[in-house]
Structure 1
Amino acid sequence: MTQPPNKPPLTIRLCEPRGFCAGVDRAIQIVVLALKKYGAPVYVRHEIVHNRYVVEGLQTLGAFFIEELSEIPPEHRECPVVFSAHGVPKSVPEDARARELFYLDATCPLVSKVHKQAMRHQRQGRHVVLVGHAGHPEVIGTMGQLPDGAATLIETEADVAVFAPEDPAALGFVTQTTLSVDDTAGILKALQARFPAIQAPAAESICYATTNRQDAVKETAAGADLFLVVGAPNSSNSRRLVEVAERAGAKRAHLVQRAADIPWDDTHGIAVLGLSAGASAPEIIVNEIIEAFRDRFDVTVELAVTATETEEFPVMRTLRDVELTRADMAFVNG
């Protein structure tokens, strides 16, 4: 009887923290709790979080994902509609009230904090500079807290160079929560050099989870033959992790949604694999990817811990009387 060939050794440097942050966990819980309390259907405006696996899991439970409130049939007016974790412009809840819809706002509390920071700048007579990516739902939501013309989006240092505000002495900035810490630092340095009077928000805009996940990747990327980040292509924080891995010394870095996306052609001869997951990626997919490598390699997992996260964001009062079991979240927790 022939023996199977020996598998080549592979060390997987597994980042910790990784995966779900408190805001994502809260948003998913809100949808599941609403389904348990009110029954299906529960409508969700936009993807609750940027992860196809999570969205499809919620769909199996009875969630319906829409882009506009007008898609809700009149006969379902009393069914809950949940706003995504990324936040929405003020016009969305206003539209919901006008349509007499019952809505639950799952906006991440840290995104809500940025909304408040932007509105505070505006109330104090400052033009708001929002550092972020055009078209991202969080940017749309933050810009939508302010009157038209009250804010300018800055994406790059080149944008700073051509920015010409009416009153350079009356500016205040906020940032999208999921940006690269290093990239944002460069943009803010350029803003402060051109506009010394620009006012910072009362607290850091980039969220703790984004910073922690980027720090973990920085610690593990050097010397990695390949670095994989679990996340969706439309997930800003996941894409930033890929960039951070490349800058921190990984020879190659890729974004993957599932084990089926692993670039096996890039794994020939590798000895060290870095692995992390964006804030919208469930742990079940991380485990799936590790098992896929175990099928081909003799795997040793090294946990690289750079921070311990204890943050928890409670759901709204209307859902706190519903008990959430492990089985309710099995589609994301495995």
Structure 2
Amino acid sequence: MNAPLPHRPTTSIPASGRLPLALLIAAPRGFCAGVDRAIEIVERALRLYGPPVYVRHEIVHNRYVVDALKEQGAIFVEELDEVPEGAPVVFSAHGVPKTVPAEAERRQMVWVDATCPLVSKVHRQAERQIEAGRHIVFVGHRGHPEVIGTMGQVPEGAITLVETLADVEALSFTGDTPLAFLTQTTLSVDDTREIVAALEARFPHIVGPKAEDICYATSNRQAAVKQIAPGSDLVLVIGAPNSSNSLRLVEVAQRMGTDARLIERASDIDPAWLDGVGTIGLTAGASAPEKLVREVVERLAEWRDVEEHTVVSAEEKMVFKLPRQLMG
């Protein structure tokens, strides 16, 4: 149930001698089903195979999560050639090009795929569009692991990446070129809507997915920020600087005219940020655990009299199955 947005705190100083601070905590926030699944896959692999278990790329983009798994015996690498013969390896939630499992098979490695099922769905869509004879225009951020993984599902040259409206304008396909578009799952909902509209205006015959590719968790977290930003003087987003969905949350708040900052931990907060601030909005990207949210609340409470208000914009009940090989 939605909590009403509180009135801005008065400037009167309470008996504690500290100014009040209203804290609007977004819900949903933090871990999504794909992240929960990926972390559990590494933990189960560690129990099943024993440490060390190698993980290709950060399992999810969060240093706290990665460090916690390292303590349990996970070793993070960027490429398979860093994995010793016979050692088990897990592929990250962002997905990998087809060449990666093919190489793992060639080397007879024990491997587990932790790719988020919603990313895998985009991979299957890409394969179907190529089979149908269409060239794919992929909306995403160049260099992001999910983009690299998706583009690696189809033959080289079969996908063209666009990031901006200017990229759409620069496309040189003829009117009779069979086209389809797909998108990265962690994009800005509003930006992507504009880019897709531009694609459809330029290429009316372009084929899109039956349902949008931006995942439910990304959409829900952006909608939640839109709920808390108008009533906030400052929005804090807990997430990593290489986390696409976390960066988008900062952008959503800023576009609504609210100051917003990305932090990884409570220790990143500068107390000077609170000068003149009566209300803070707080959320966390899909790779950030709830423990970091509570850490931030406790940090703010060191300086101000915090009054928490949870603002619920959606409820999430999504759960993804684990790979069969880990279900024993």
SS at match of 1:275: strand
C-alpha separation between the residues in 2 aligned to 1:160 and 1:168?
Answer: 17
- Secondary structure of the corresponding residue to residue 111 of structure 1: helix
What SS does the corresponding residue of 1:65 show, helix, strand or coil? strand
- Name the CA distance, whole Å, in 1 between partners of 2:93 and 2:156: 23
| Conservation of the 8 A alpha-carbon contact between 1:168 and 1:195 | no
Q: Is the 8 A contact 1:35 1:62 kept in 2?
A: yes
C-alpha distance in structure 2 between counterparts of 1:167 and 1:50, whole Å: 40
Q: Is the 8 A contact 1:18 1:279 kept in 2?
A: yes
Gaps of 5+ in 2: 1-13
Aligned partner of 1:261 in structure 2 is 268
Alignment of 1:33-72 (within 5 A): 33-72=44-83
Q: For residue 235 of structure 1, what is the aligned residue in structure 2?
A: 243
Q: Give SS of 1:217's match.
A: helix
Amino acid at match of 1:216: A
Confirm whether residue 16 of structure 1 aligns to residue 24 of structure 2. no
Partner of 2:280: 273
- Equivalent residue number for residue 194 of structure 1: 202
RMSD: 1.3
* Ranges in structure 1 where 5+ consecutive residues have no aligned partner: 322-334
* Post-superposition offset of 1:4: 8.7
Q: Are 2:162 and 1:154 equivalent residues in the alignment?
A: yes
Which residue is 1:218 aligned to? Answer: 226
Counterpart of 1:296?
A: 303
For residues 30 and 243 of structure 2, the distance between their equivalents in structure 1, rounded to whole angstroms, comes to: 12
- The aligned runs of 1:70-81 (5 Å cut-off) are 70-74=81-85, 77=86, 79-81=87-89
- In the alignment, the residues of structure 2 paired with residue 208 and residue 317 of structure 1 have an alpha-carbon distance, to the nearest angstrom, of 24
Query: Structure 2 CA distance, aligned partners of 1:6 and 1:158?
Result: 53
Is 1:6 aligned with 2:14? no
Tell me the secondary structure at the aligned position of residue 276 of structure 1.
strand
Give the TM-score taking structure 2 as reference length: 0.94
Letter in 2 for 1:46: H
The alignment covers a number of residue pairs equal to 315
Q: Mapping of 1:245-256 within 5 angstroms?
A: 245-250=253-258, 252-256=259-263
Please report how far the alpha carbon of residue 38 of structure 1 lies from its aligned counterpart in structure 2 after TM superposition: 1.1
* Percent of paired sites with the same residue: 58
Contact 1:171/1:197 (8 A) holds in 2? yes
> How high is the TM-score relative to the length of structure 1?
0.92
